[in-house]
Structure formats: C-alpha cells, structure tokens
Structure 1
Amino acid sequence: MTAIKHALQRDIFTPSDERLLSIVNVCKAGKKKKNCFLCATVTTERPVQVKVVKVKKSDKGDFYKRQLAWELRDLTEVDAKDANKVRDNTHSLTHTHTHTHTQSLTHLRSFSTPPSLPLCPAGESGV
C-alpha cells in the first residue's frame, strides 16, 4: 500500500499542489476487486482545503486518474453502505463502494472536521 500511496502522491496530487494524508481501498460489493481508492488530501497553500478524492486505476495501463473530489467542509456524512438511501437537507458522499479498511475514516475525523459537520462512519447517524 505504501508504493501505491507514493505513486498517487507523485502522479496525482503533487502536480495539483496537494498532499496525500491517507488512502482507503474501496470496491463494489459482489464485484471483483477493482483498484479504486478514497484519498484524504490537503492543499499545500493557504487557506488549506481538505478534500476526499476518488481515484481509480486505469483499465489501459498502470496509471491512476482522479474521478471525483469533495471538499470535507461540504460533507456531513460518508455512507459507504447504501447509495440508494435518500437523505434530505444534507451534503453526503454516498458511494456504491464498501470500505475494505475503516481506519482512515477515524483518521479523516481527526483532522480539520468542523464541529458543525460531523463525519460519521456508515451506519451511525450524524444528524
């Protein structure tokens, strides 16, 4: 996982002046494992912006590409269990992938989460 983290930092995040803090390998439930990651990043310039970025390994080659990005301040919940669940009046990162590693959600909570926008692991209610 360290080699992947270094490759992502070098190829994806350094060119856009971001620093990779943590990565979580995610995969679709019931599907064969595809290399897809949720990454916690911060910008290197002030004001600092904290983001959650979805990165996918290309099918044609050995490189990664950025798919989606969400600013942490805009998220109230990360629910990796049920993408079909509807939530009203919230900004949610609802993802059809399940986490194969949950340590980084705790890590995400530990850096720069505004108190008014709790970041909850799937299954917990933050609202």
Structure 2
Amino acid sequence: MANLRKAMLQENIFTPKGEKLVHVLLTQLSEENEDYCLCLTVTKDEEVQITFLKILPSGIKEKYMIQEVWLLEDLTMVDGRDATADNPFLDLHFQTVCSLEASSTAAKYAFVRSLRKMNKIYLQKDIQFLNFDSDFIQEMSFFGLPEDTMMVIQLCVQAFNCFCLLHSL
C-alpha cells in the first residue's frame, strides 16, 4: 500500500510541479485523529521541501489537500521526544513546531534517515536531531543493502547478544 500511495502522490501531486518524491511518512497530528502524509521532495531547482498533506477519504481513490510546505533549510531541529522508548512521536521545529505521530517508530526513524540524507546531499546544514537512538538514524547501507534491512540485521545481532548473555549466567 505504501508504494502504491507513493506512486499516486508522485503522479498526481509532485510530477505536475516538477518535483521528485523521495519519502512519504503516514502520520497524524498529535491532537487530531485524521490521517496525513509528510512528504520529502526535491524540486527541479534542487530545493528540498517537506510537504504536509491531509488525506481526504473519497470512495476508492484517496484525495489529498496540501496543508503546509516547508523548506528543509528552514528546519532547525527534529525531536524524537524519547530515545529510550519505542514511540512514534516527532516534533519538527521550523518557525513553529509541528507535532506529529508517525504510523510506527520504524517509519519515524526511516523518515529521519531520509531527512538526514537529503540534508547531507543538498544543504549540509547543521540540523539538531534530539532524542533519537543514534544507532538507528546513522546511514547503515554497507554492501548495497537497504537501510531498513541493515537495521533489522543490527536488531537481530543485538537480540542474539542478549540471548547469549542470558544463557551464560
């Protein structure tokens, strides 16, 4: 479903504007119970934008309404709220703070890795990333493996180490 949504967003929202969709995060505002998408795009002028779209249920086909568009260069801080807990909450600090709830903690970390990567490629700006487990927001793609696969491998190794430690006691 995520790939289908990304393809539909690219075709219907971003291609007409000459933008390339890099990442989509399904989210909710912390105070509401409606679905939104946070989209990371690159314009034809190589500006990185974060577009906040509201998902409007409309029968079989979803419709989207642009709520807000920010430039990555205006982002000063990303706060994961608590690095020690499994939580999907995220605060994006522009001139105002946008508080979101991602569909999962893994989705939140994948989005943050995409933000960091786009910043590294296009801006090299000093954006603060607070309250994240640094092991999971670092680039992990060695040997040509996708970052999510590397994260699963890393979690498995950590679980295996815990298992071995428990059996050695």
- TM-score interval, smaller chain: 0.7 to 0.9
Q: CA deviation at 1:116?
A: 3.6
Question: 2: distance between equivalents of 1:26 and 1:97?
Answer: 6
Aligned equivalent of 2:127: 118
Q: Are positions 1:22 and 2:29 aligned together?
A: no
Question: 1: distance between equivalents of 2:32 and 2:56?
Answer: 17
Structure 2: unaligned runs, 5 residues or longer: 82-90, 133-169
* TM-score normalised to structure 1 length: 0.73
SS of alignment partner, residue 6 of structure 1: helix
8 A Cα contact 1:80 1:97, kept in partner: no
Q: Deviations over 1:70-113 (max 9, x none)?
A: 100111113465xxx9xxxx745622322232211111101234
Q: Which structure has more helix as a fraction of its residues?
A: 2
8 A Cα contact 2:119 2:125, kept in partner: no
**Matched residues, number:** 113
SS of alignment partner, residue 95 of structure 1: strand
Question: 2: distance between equivalents of 1:40 and 1:5?
Answer: 11
**Which structure would you say has the larger Rg?**
2
Query: Percent identity over the alignment?
Result: 25
Aligned equivalent of 1:49: 47
Aligned equivalent of 2:87: none
Give the partner amino acid of 2:98.
Answer: H
8 A Cα contact 1:80 1:98, kept in partner: no
8 A Cα contact 1:24 1:37, kept in partner: yes
Question: 1: distance between equivalents of 2:22 and 2:125?
Answer: 22
Give the superposed CA RMSD: 2.6
Structure 1: unaligned runs, 5 residues or longer: none
